[in-house]
Amino acid sequence: MAAPYNLEIIEDCTTCAWKSEEAFCDLPAAVLKPFEAAKYTSTYPAGSVLFVDGQTPRGVYLLCKGRVKVAMTSKDGKSIILRIVESGELIGLNSVITGKSYEFTAETLEPCQVNFLHRDAFLKLMHEHHEVLTNVTEQLSSDYGAACVQIRSLALCRTAEEKVARFLLDWSAKGRETNQGIRMNLPLTHEEIAQIIGVSRETVTRTLSELKSKSLITMKGSLIVIRSKPDLEALTAD
Task: Please report, for the domain that includes residue 168, its CATH number.
Answer: 1.10.10.10
Q: Which phi and psi (to 5°) does residue 207 adopt? A: -70, -40
- Tell me the helices (H) and strands (E) count for the chain, helix number first: 8, 12
- Neighbour count for residue 204 (Cβ, 10 Å): 24
Residue 107 domain flag: yes
Q: What pTM did the predictor assign?
A: 0.82
Contacts of 34 (CB under 8 A, 6+ apart): 125, 128, 129
Range of the domain at 126: 21-155
Output phi, psi for 91, to 5 deg: -120, 130
Which of 139, 155, 171 is the last residue before a domain boundary? 155
pLDDT (tens, 9 = 90+) of the chain, 238 residues, equals: 556 777 777 777 777 777 666 678 888 888 888 998 999 999 999 999 999 999 999 999 999 999 999 999 888 778 889 889 988 999 999 999 999 999 999 999 999 999 999 999 999 999 999 999 999 999 999 888 888 877 877 777 789 999 999 999 988 988 899 999 999 998 889 999 999 988 999 999 999 999 999 999 999 988 999 998 999 999 886 5
- Other beta carbons less than 10 A from residue 100's beta carbon: 11
